């Protein structure tokens, strides 16, 4: 079953929109005016904003919040990135992403864009019952660019991992410059171990130093001496105030996929991404008195330094006239047994 969503489905009071197996999907509208779907299955719950950026908010697994903590507690009806920055997942790009410049706002034009259409699919395949949530965003700047951005998240009723399918179509008969970053924001778990299919040396890790407190500068020096000190999540010995960004070059498996986990005894926050298309991993960590965020990997086409930097370094992608590209990211939470399997896979890659 496919249900094309309409904005008039959403009111201030929650109303059941669909039930499918263990899934319960309720529609409501925030006080800000943003339309939202509240979704529950056997393992997890989350909020999805179908017309506002197709964002994921308040991702919880067995009642525990997995997504980052910020002072923005619910979606806001704004195009200003940081005024609506409290979600678990944002699509960023397409003109560029990262630091704002003359070519684009903070993280590009799509994170808070209003979608032209959105839908809900309830279906079943060899993996079991699932739902898919997606839509289309059509961008048209006369004489410059015209594209369609079509994301979709798919999740099974007994899973807490999202399959994030992204399709970009160039609707002009000229090549399209494009960039993309998937901003995935977990919360840090004290004592957890960060694992990734990479080496912690200068060929694979880049540290982006910035101005800050003496404690932050001292921690920068410690990292430059040994990047592995970041791999145990430990507020007492680490300084991420206000934030630190790293660039990570992944070593992929035979399917060109990179793997990242934040592991505890119970399970792991998990991301798998196509390292041949999203060739740069951005690791972003912020731990202040008001924010607590573990962006252990933001899969991206380039660095987070804006259009001019990406252009200079050849990090902008080109999509041929009337061309189309699709790729899939997996992100979510896995149990201890599956985490051990992914750990063995990472060890095999290395």
Position 99 scores a pLDDT of 87
Q: What is the pTM of this model?
A: 0.97
Where does residue 21 fall: left (phi above 0), alpha (psi -120 to 50 degrees), or beta otherwise?
Answer: left
* 323 Cβ contact partners less than 8 Å away, ≥ 6 residues apart: 169, 170, 176
Residue 184 has pLDDT above 90, yes or no: yes
Rounded Cα distance between 52 and 42, Å, is 26
Residue-wise pLDDT tens digits, 140-183: 999 999 999 999 999 999 999 999 999 999 999 999 999 999 99
Question: Could you report the per-residue pLDDT of 247-261, keeping only the tens digit for each?
Answer: 999 999 999 999 999
Q: What's the rounded mean pLDDT across residues 309-337?
A: 97
Cis omega before residue 283 (within 30°)? no
Q: How far apart are CA 207 and CA 221, in angstroms?
A: 10
Question: pLDDT tens across 274-291, in order?
Answer: 999 999 999 999 999 999
Helices (H), 251-318: 307-312
Q: Between the CA of residue 15 and those of 27, 28, 88, 130, 171, what are the distances in Å?
A: 5, 7, 23, 20, 37
What's the distance, Cα to Cα, between the start and end of the chain in Å?
A: 43
Q: What is the dihedral of CA 300, 305, 310, 312, to 10 degrees?
A: -150
């Amino acid at each position: 079953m496919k249900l094309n969503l309409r904005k008039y489905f959403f009111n201030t009071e929650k109303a059941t929109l669909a039930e499918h197996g263990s899934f319960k999907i309720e529609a409501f509208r925030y006080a800000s005016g943003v339309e939202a779907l509240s979704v529950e299955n056997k393992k997890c719950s989350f909020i999805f904003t179908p017309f506002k950026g197709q964002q994921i908010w308040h991702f919880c697994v067995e009642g525990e919040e997995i997504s980052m903590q910020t002072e923005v507690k619910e979606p806001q009806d704004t195009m200003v990135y940081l005024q609506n920055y409290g979600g678990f997942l944002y699509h960023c790009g397409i003109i560029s992403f990262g630091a704002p410049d003359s070519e684009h706002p903070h993280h590009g034009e799509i994170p808070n864009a209003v979608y032209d259409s959105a839908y809900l699919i309830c279906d079943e395949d060899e993996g079991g019952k699932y739902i898919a949530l997606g839509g289309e965003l059509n961008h048209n700047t006369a004489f410059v660019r015209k594209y369609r951005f079509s994301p979709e998240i798919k999740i099974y009723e007994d899973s807490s991992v999202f399959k994030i399918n992204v399709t970009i179509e160039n609707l002009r008969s000229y090549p399209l410059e494009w960039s993309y970053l998937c901003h995935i924001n977990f919360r840090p778990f004290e004592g957890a171990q960060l694992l990734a299919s990479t080496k912690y040396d200068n060929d694979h890790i880049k540290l982006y130093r910035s101005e800050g407190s003496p404690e932050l500068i001292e921690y920068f020096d410690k990292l430059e001496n040994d990047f592995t000190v970041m791999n145990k999540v430990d507020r007492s010995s680490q300084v991420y105030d206000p934030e630190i960004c790293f660039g990570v070059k992944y070593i992929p498996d035979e399917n060109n996929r990179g793997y990242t986990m934040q592991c505890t005894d119970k399970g792991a926050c998990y991301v798998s991404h196509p390292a041949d298309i999203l060739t740069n991993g951005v690791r972003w960590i912020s731990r202040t008195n008001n924010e607590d965020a573990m962006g252990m990997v933001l899969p991206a086409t380039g660095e987070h330094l804006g259009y001019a930097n990406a252009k200079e370094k050849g990090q902008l992608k080109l999509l041929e006239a009337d061309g189309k590209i699709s790729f899939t990211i997996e992100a979510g939470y896995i149990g201890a047994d599956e985490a051990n399997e992914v750990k063995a896979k990472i060890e095999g890659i290395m």
